Amino acid sequence: MKDVFKRRFVELDKDFGSIPITTSSHDSRRYVQDGKWEKWATSAQNLILAVFGDHSPHYKNFVKAYENCRGSEQRVKTLNAVFLSAKEDFEGGYVFDVDLRVSGEVFGDFVGLARQSLAEGYKDVAAVLACAALEDALKRYASANEINVTEKTMQDVVNALKASGLVAGAQKSLLDAMPRIRNMAMHADWGKLSEPDVSSVIGFVEQFLLSKFSHG
pLDDT digits (tens, 9 = 90+) for 33-90: 778 899 999 999 999 988 887 778 899 999 999 999 988 899 999 999 999 999 998 8
Q: What is the pLDDT of residues 140-187, one digit of tens each?
A: 888 877 888 888 888 898 889 888 888 877 777 888 888 889 888 888
Q: Percent of the chain, pLDDT > 70? A: 90
Q: What is the pLDDT of residues 107-132, one digit of tens each?
A: 677 788 888 999 999 999 999 888 88
With CA atoms as reference, report the closest residue to 210 among 111, 117, 126.
111
CATH placement of domain 98-212: 1.20.120
Least confident of 20-29, 99-108, 169-178, 207-216: 99-108
- Judged against a pLDDT cut of 60, whether residue 103 lies above it is answered with no
The mean pLDDT of the chain is 84
pLDDT recorded at residue 199: 93
Global pTM reads 0.52
pLDDT recorded at residue 216: 45
Cβ-based burial of 85 (10 A; exposed 0-12, middle 13-18, buried ≥19): middle
pLDDT recorded at residue 105: 57
Hey, which bits of 78-191 come out as E strands?
none
Domain extent listing, the chain: 2-91, 98-212
Cα–Cα distance, 154 to 17 (Å, whole number): 49
Amino acid letter, residue 183: N
